[in-house]
């Protein structure tokens, strides 16, 4: 593929609800632009975008993929993204390097949760956008209803560029609102002129007026002309539209059929006409030496710099680091500096990725997207520049995972292999992480949802031939005491030679600090227990608090005081006093009103107004305490509540079901509280059965 300069590049991300037709649209665009000789389909599993085995099996996108399309003299870097929220990290990575977006809406299904989320992402990243309505070849598709729903949500900025023409239930053509002309597709795929149907004039006049208002608002001169009843030429309208689309004050709506490849010519032409090239966008980094801003702005004349926005790891090919060039021109074998890791490396070859296929190129200009291979220690979020002009860029904000499950390898001998494979997948997927839970002797894996984690298990089986078992995680309960006890324990053994003798008298009571296991004090008078055995007593306590006598959970919040005891000049030892202290604590805890503590989370749920009752009712069932209810923009409210961790299992799945996916949640650890009696009894029974 030839080299393109910054002004001839468009970086466009496809966004929308799962199943709205993004991958099919990308496939159609790839076919019409000449990237493919024949269009594939999601059903057949032969699209460029969904190349992974798991994607082909499930028939939906899991990873973002890049399609460099050539349309005339312009290169469109099309970023196809998953529509399901389980893979939101892929979407966030793609959006971080896009300069514009096409939001795909199914004409049959209409506005869905994913549509609104896509819009909000564009707002967050200030992305110009076009809405493309698919499925227009389906009888149930209603373009008019989609327009009305969009205008109800987003107001006058929604500007339809086209109207569909149907004959005998067939999608045969469209009316161009700017030109006020109708066109029909012919058998060769081209278009023929036709008269505007009578039934289209009402909508044509209405939607054209919206366009003219948008044109008028681009300048005072145009505003005066509009109020004076003057008309605008097609060129004036298109120029004003370009300004308005780029600043987000107008969002064009277009439509077509992915399967019959109708509407894509116009879409790609309008992407080139109305979307900005990278050099029309701002991009700012920081010079780590001076802490001053570096305005890269995708300027090819400035010192070269790039940003790694995505990592791809293949068990056979190795690692690709997908980059966007933020300034300068990157060339093969350039020596680039990674300021975050303080190392300089020759980047070797530069690639363009087309789905899973890599093609070498000699250089990439500012604003272009490509990939590097086998650059040491390069990870998502890293910045590349030169040592003479170091630059670092802000890392993308990736959603934090809150759903977690216990996991283990099916075969005990595969534990190390499983960990290595998960580390590789986590380099690709920043919404995945693992951690240990020593209190419950389990390993935990965190993801966006249970569906996300189950798919990770499938990827492990497909790519790495490893089986990962997922299970309900154990809750990290703790044990403490409410009362005070005074115990005496004598550890005495005689085995023929030196015996064992350790004798302690101790009190146990609440320390008042549940964040530390225990506090140890000694108040021994008269040397009944020599000072050199005090550390042994403390060690015995430290071992005992790891597993409490009530249900085997760690002990927290106990004050242990050694006040008396005795020793034997020959048989006493550190080991003997260590054992005596441990056993004294076991008895002392049982005599001091032991209870279980459960972890409590501070939970925030953002939910649409109409779903608020369902969410609050569900929280009550989970022993949640609603602390506040605060309205936010867009018809949503934030519910803040305190909820036991045990009630958070499968919460994300349940919340999605309750709200049809129109809610999000996050939480963090707050404190430990005493368990209700029924919960405590249940846990003691479970642990007793496990240890039986």
Angstrom distance (rounded) from CA 542 to CA 537: 9
Helix (H/G/I), strand (E/B), else coil: 431:
coil
Across the chain, what does the average pLDDT equal? 93
| Closest to 580 in 3D by CA, of 487, 481, 486 | 487
Helix (H) or strand (E) holding 670: strand 663-674
pLDDT at position 603: 97
* pTM tops 0.85: yes
Angstrom distance (rounded) from CA 591 to CA 428: 52
| Closest to 17 in 3D by CA, of 93, 91, 117, 100 | 117
| Closest to 541 in 3D by CA, of 559, 566, 568 | 559
- pLDDT tens, position by position, 108-127: 999 999 999 999 999 999 99
Angstrom distance (rounded) from CA 208 to CA 133: 19
- pLDDT confidence tier of residue 579, bands split at 50, 70 and 90: very high
- pLDDT confidence tier of residue 426, bands split at 50, 70 and 90: very high
Helix (H/G/I), strand (E/B), else coil: 564:
strand
Angstrom distance (rounded) from CA 526 to CA 153: 81
Angstrom distance (rounded) from CA 40 to CA 60: 14
Residue 356 predicted with pLDDT over 90: no
- pLDDT tens, position by position, 18-32: 999 999 999 999 999
Residue 692 predicted with pLDDT over 70: no
Strands (E), 269-356: 284-287, 292-295, 305-314, 318-327, 329-331, 335-338, 343-346, 350-354
Q: Kindly give, in sequence order, each residue whose CB lies less than 8 Å from that of residue 537, ignoring residues fewer than 6 positions away.
A: 504, 520, 522, 529, 562, 577, 578, 580, 581
- pLDDT tens, position by position, 147-159: 999 999 998 889 9
For the chain, give the percent of residues with pLDDT over 90.
81
Note whether 15 and 131 are within 8 A (CB). Answer: no
pLDDT at position 217: 81
Question: What's the DSSP call for residue 198?
Answer: G
- pLDDT confidence tier of residue 524, bands split at 50, 70 and 90: very high
Which tokens in the block code for residue 16?
């929308």
Which domains are assigned to the chain?
Answer: 8-277 (3.40.50.300), 284-384 (2.40.30.10), 403-471 (3.30.70.870), 479-592 (3.30.230.10), 597-688 (3.30.70.240)
Which tokens in the block code for residue 14?
């496809």
pLDDT at position 543: 96
pLDDT at position 269: 95
Q: Which residue has the higher pLDDT, 490 or 689?
A: 490
- pLDDT tens, position by position, 57-105: 999 999 999 999 999 999 999 999 999 999 999 999 999 999 999 999 9
- pLDDT confidence tier of residue 496, bands split at 50, 70 and 90: low
Beta bridge partners of 313: 319
Q: Kindly give, in sequence order, each residue whose CB lies less than 8 Å from that of residue 332, ignoring residues fewer than 6 positions away.
A: 347, 348, 349, 350, 362, 363
Note whether 24 and 14 are within 8 A (CB). Answer: no
Q: What angle do CA 378, 383, 386 make, to 5 degrees?
A: 105
Note whether 596 and 550 are within 8 A (CB). Answer: yes
Cα Rg of the chain, angstroms: 33
- pLDDT confidence tier of residue 497, bands split at 50, 70 and 90: low
Strands (E), 391-510: 403-409, 433-437, 442-447, 468-471, 478-481, 485-493, 500-510
pLDDT at position 493: 87
Q: Which residue has the higher pLDDT, 1 or 547?
A: 547
Note whether 672 and 514 are within 8 A (CB). Answer: yes
Please report, for residues 238, 242, 398, 525, the alpha-carbon distance to residue 267 in angstroms, rounded to integers and kept in the order given: 14, 14, 30, 89
- pLDDT tens, position by position, 635-671: 899 999 999 999 999 999 999 999 999 999 999 999 9
| Closest to 622 in 3D by CA, of 656, 653, 648 | 648
């Amino acid at each position: 593929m030839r080299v393109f300069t910054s002004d001839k590049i468009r970086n466009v991300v496809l966004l929308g609800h799962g199943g709205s037709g993004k991958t099919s649209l990308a496939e159609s665009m790839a076919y019409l632009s000449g990237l493919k000789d024949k269009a594939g389909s999601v059903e057949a599993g032969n699209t460029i975008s969904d190349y992974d085995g798991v994607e082909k099996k499930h028939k939906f996108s899991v990873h973002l993929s890049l399609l460099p399309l050539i349309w005339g003299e312009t290169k469109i870097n099309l970023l196809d993204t998953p529509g399901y929220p389980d893979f939101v990290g892929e979407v966030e990575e793609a959006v971080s390097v896009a300069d514009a977006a096409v939001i795909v809406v199914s004409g049959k299904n209409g506005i869905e949760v994913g549509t609104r989320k896509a819009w909000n992402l564009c707002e967050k990243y200030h992305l110009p956008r076009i809405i493309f309505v698919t499925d227009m070849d389906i009888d149930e598709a209603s373009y008019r209803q989609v327009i009305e729903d969009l205008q109800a949500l987003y107001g006058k900025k929604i500007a339809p560029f086209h109207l569909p023409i149907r004959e005998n239930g067939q999608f045969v053509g469209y009316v161009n609102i700017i030109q006020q002309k109708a066109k029909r597709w012919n058998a060769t795929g081209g278009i023929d002129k036709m008269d505007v149907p009578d039934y289209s004039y009402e909508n044509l006049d209405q939607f054209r007026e919206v366009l003219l208002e948008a044109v008028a608002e681009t300048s005072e001169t145009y505003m005066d002309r509009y109020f004076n009843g003057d008309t605008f030429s097609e060129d004036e309208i298109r120029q004003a539209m370009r300004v308005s689309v780029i600043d987000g004050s107008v969002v064009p709506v277009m439509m077509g059929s992915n399967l019959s490849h109708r509407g894509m010519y116009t879409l790609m032409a309008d992407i080139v006409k109305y979307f900005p090239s990278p050099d029309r966008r701002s991009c700012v980094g920081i010079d780590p030496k001076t802490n001053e801003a570096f305005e890269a702005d995708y300027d090819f004349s400035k010192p070269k710099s790039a940003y790694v926005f995505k990592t791809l790891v293949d068990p056979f090919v190795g690692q690709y680091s997908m980059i966007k060039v933020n300034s300068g021109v990157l060339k093969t074998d350039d020596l680039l500096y990674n300021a975050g890791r303080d190392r300089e490396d020759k980047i070797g070859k530069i690639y363009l990725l087309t789905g899973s296929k890599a093609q070498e190129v000699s250089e990439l200009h500012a604003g272009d997207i490509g990939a590097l291979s086998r650059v040491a220690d390069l990870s998502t979020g890293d910045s590349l520049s030169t040592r003479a002009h170091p630059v670092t860029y802000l890392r993308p904000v990736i959603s934090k995972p809150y759903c977690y499950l216990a996991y283990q390898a099916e075969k005990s001998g595969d534990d190390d292999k499983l960990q290595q494979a998960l580390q590789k997948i986590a380099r690709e997927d920043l919404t995945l992480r693992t951690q240990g839970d020593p209190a419950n002797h389990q390993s935990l894996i965190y993801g966006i949802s249970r569906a996300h984690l189950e798919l990770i298990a499938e990827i492990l089986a497909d790519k790495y031939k490893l089986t990962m078992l997922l299970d309900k995680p154990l809750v990290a309960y703790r044990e403490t005491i409410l009362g005070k006890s005074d115990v005496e324990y004598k550890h005495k053994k005689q085995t023929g030679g030196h015996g064992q003798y350790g004798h302690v008298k101790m009190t146990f009571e609440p320390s008042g600090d549940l964040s530390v296991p225990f506090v140890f004090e000694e108040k021994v008078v008269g040397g009944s227990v020599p000072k050199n055995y005090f550390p042994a007593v403390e060690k015995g306590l430290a071992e005992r608090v790891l597993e409490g006598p009530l249900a085997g959970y760690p002990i927290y919040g106990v004050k242990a005081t050694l006040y008396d005891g005795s020793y034997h000049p020959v048989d006493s030892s550190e080991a003997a006093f260590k054992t005596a202290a441990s056993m004294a604590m076991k008895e002392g805890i049982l005599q001091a009103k032991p209870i279980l503590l459960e972890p409590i989370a501070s939970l925030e749920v953002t939910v649409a107004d109409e779903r608020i009752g369902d969410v609050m009712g569900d929280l009550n069932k989970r022993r949640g305490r609603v602390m506040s209810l605060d309205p936010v923009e867009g018809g949503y409210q934030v519910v803040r509540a305190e909820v036991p961790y045990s009630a958070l299992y499968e919460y994300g799945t349940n919340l999605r079901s309750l709200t049809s996916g129109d809610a999000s949640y996050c939480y963090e650890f707050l404190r430990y509280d005493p368990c209700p009696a029924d919960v405590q009894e249940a846990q003691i029974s479970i642990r007793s059965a496990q240890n039986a």
